[in-house]
Amino acid sequence: MNQTDNTDDDSTPRDFIRDIVHEDLNAGRTASVVTRFPPEPNGYLHIGHAKSICLNFGIADEFGGKCHLRFDDTNPTKEEQEYIDAIQEDVRWLGFDWGENLHYTSDYFEQLYSWAEHLINQSMAYVDDLSADEIREHRGTLTEPGKNSPYRDRTPEENLALFQQMRAGEFENGAKVLRAKIDMASGNINLRDPVIYRILHAEHPRTGNEWCVYPNYDFAHGQSDALEHITHSICTLEFEDHRPLYDWLIENLPVPSEPHQYEFARLNLTYTVLSKRRLMQLVNDGHVAGWDDPRMPTISGYRRRGYPPAAIRDFASRIGVSKSNATVEVQSLEACVREDLNKNAERRMAVLKPLKVVIENYPENQVEEFDAKNNPNDENSGTRKISFSRELYIEQDDFMEDAPKKFFRLSLGREVRFRYAYFITCTDVIKDDAGEVVELRCTYDPETKGGNAPDGRKVKGTIHWASAAHAVDAEIRQYDYLFSEEVPGANSDGDFLADINANSLTVLSECKLEPALRELPLGETVQFERIGYFCADKESSSDKLVFNQTIGLRDTWAKKKS
């Protein structure tokens, strides 16, 4: 991972792309910067896209330019309105705004088509009757040149007529393609007469049945950039070998501007797959509950999980932008989430695995209210009241009948502080027939109200609790990584499904929450003291509260691994 060379002392991001933009502006090669984020609406956005979004929108913000959102919708069989809507929601949630610059490649179909005709007229494109397989066979290899298609020398008139017939729907899918006429012996395979139009009788989400020929990525992308006056067209490294084709098309077409393409390394994360195709498979095969399942590395999954958008932006800025592919540890994303939430999340008390406690010397029916700090890291966050009464719950893990010396929580005969309330001593343990502890009998010291003893005696431990009469019941869903291997599929020939973690979801159904949590708005994440960060799930209702664990308080993974 490349964390060192990307930030300045003043924490303005610096990387090779920003350097280029800076120089272009300084040298007057462009008056202002225009970037774009160009998703294909064939799935939901994932954290890799977030890297690209933060880069493109971030540069526009930093240099006083603009960033367009452009749907690269040239593949009607795979694209859907649902994805178009979800992508817009996700980009907005991440904190970015394209203003008036919402575009679709499909808006340019007519222009692109006429540019294809322009190439034909210049003898720079031809209609080919070879099948996809034959085209592949003719293409040659990295070490051998390709062979010309027998249809390569058709006249412009013949090509034009055929291309118009293609558009008119006179041929089946795959019967013909339009190819740029460049060089079948080029060292760059992308220049060996690449296909630029194919026949596809399919309904498009936006243009319906108006078209049955569609430009492919290479023909559509650069020309759309030019139409939108994009100055810096930033994409991932796998397009580096396409750049000569990008430039060839810009050079040979009467486009209104001359954009340039720059490539950066895509994001890979450990314990994660980042490809819409694979994510779609997880959804379609039912390995997760949907694109926004909180275990998914999608923007919508992180949103549902309670990750703050600022933490994702922070992550993108910390990993930086470089030219070499590397894999980032998923724990570094989690560290950004923890850091943000530790600073910003309000604190609450909740008991996940409850054990009943009865304070025998506390009056029945008495209720006291204590002031609890909402956020010790934020002086302005105020306090709230929490109710204390005779019957309480604590975590099962916070009690050990026969505890070793170093166990600073509750055990028989020992005293601990109940957070914000009193010193409590356990005097008796009640067990069921199977010998399981089901209830603790305790006493409290009324002199220790607020959590301090006037005689100065100390207790080693402080534990959290919930008042039985006041707590609300909730289901809590805890998540582990969706995959049990650092690189899913690495040991099974790329079969990432073989490495699915069977225990990625744990449901706790008897949790006891502070009553205020009933009103926690969707989208707000709080800290449950001593446990971790949590948010209400969209499936939560007044009949049944459902919470997601966003992340634990500390990185326990390092320990688990060793």
Amino acid 71 reads F
The item of Mg ion, ligand ATP, none sharing an interface with residue 49, based on CB under 5 to 8 Å by kind, is ligand ATP
- Is 360 catalytic? The answer is no
Residue with tokens 């431990």: 461
Is residue 394 a contact partner of residue 445, using CB atoms and an 8 Å limit? Answer: no
276 is an interface residue for ligand ATP by CB under 6 A: yes
Stretch touching ligand ATP by CB under 6 A, among 27-35, 145-153, 193-201, 272-280? 272-280
For 475, the 3-state DSSP assignment is: strand
Q: Distances in Å between the alpha carbon of 11 and those of 14, 60, 245, 335?
A: 8, 17, 37, 18
Is residue 51 a contact partner of residue 90, using CB atoms and an 8 Å limit? Answer: no
Stretch touching ligand ATP by CB under 6 A, among 49-57, 163-171, 320-328, 418-426? 49-57
511 is an interface residue for ligand ATP by CB under 6 A: no
49 is an interface residue for ligand ATP by CB under 6 A: yes
CB-nearer residue toward ligand ATP: 105 or 540: 105
d(CA 555, CA 331): 8
What DSSP letter does each residue of 256-289 carry, written as one string?
S---EEEEEPPEEETT----HHHHHHHHHTTSSS
318 is an interface residue for ligand ATP by CB under 6 A: no
CB-nearer residue toward ligand ATP: 263 or 340: 263
d(CA 219, CA 230): 16
233 is an interface residue for ligand ATP by CB under 6 A: no
Of the residues 39, 297, 306, 309, which one makes contact with ligand ATP according to CB under 6 A: 39
Q: Which residue is nearest to ligand ATP (CB)?
A: 48
The item of ligand ATP, Mg ion, none sharing an interface with residue 247, based on CB under 5 to 8 Å by kind, is none
Say how many CA atoms lie within 13 Å of 256 toward its Cβ.
8
d(CA 346, CA 256): 52
Question: Which of the residues 19 through 38 are near ligand ATP (CB under 6 A)?
Answer: 38
CB 312 to ligand ATP: min, Å: 13
Token reading at 196: 């630029």
Which of the following is catalytic: 14, 40, 80, 373? 40
Of the residues 86, 135, 267, 352, which one makes contact with ligand ATP according to CB under 6 A: 267
236 is an interface residue for ligand ATP by CB under 6 A: yes
- Is 276 catalytic? The answer is yes
Of the residues 51, 138, 221, 390, which one makes contact with ligand ATP according to CB under 6 A: 51
Nearest residue to 522 (alpha-carbon basis) of 292, 318, 340, 353:
292
Nearest residue to 510 (alpha-carbon basis) of 476, 478, 537:
476
The item of ligand ATP, Mg ion, none sharing an interface with residue 236, based on CB under 5 to 8 Å by kind, is ligand ATP
For 17, the 3-state DSSP assignment is: helix
52 is an interface residue for ligand ATP by CB under 6 A: yes
CB 39 to Mg ion: min, Å: 8
Of the residues 33, 35, 48, 232, which one makes contact with ligand ATP according to CB under 6 A: 48
Is residue 54 a contact partner of residue 62, using CB atoms and an 8 Å limit? Answer: no
Question: Which of the residues 354 through 413 are near ligand ATP (CB under 6 A)?
Answer: none
Which of the following is catalytic: 167, 266, 356, 419? 266
CB 21 to Mg ion: min, Å: 24
Question: Which of the residues 28 through 57 are near Mg ion (CB under 5 A)?
Answer: 40
Stretch touching ligand ATP by CB under 6 A, among 101-109, 199-207, 271-279, 445-453? 271-279
The item of ligand ATP, Mg ion, none sharing an interface with residue 390, based on CB under 5 to 8 Å by kind, is none
How far does Cα 190 stand from its chain's mean position? 31
d(CA 105, CA 41): 11
d(CA 502, CA 33): 47
Which of the following is catalytic: 18, 70, 176, 276? 276
Partners of 513 in the β-ladder = 350, 472
CB-based contacts of 475, cutoff 8 Å, min separation 6: 507, 508, 509, 511, 544, 545, 546, 547
Binding region for Mg ion (CB under 5 A) = 40
Binding region for ligand ATP (CB under 6 A) = 38-40, 48-49, 51-52, 235-236, 266-267, 274-276
> Which residues participate in catalysis according to the annotation?
40, 266, 276
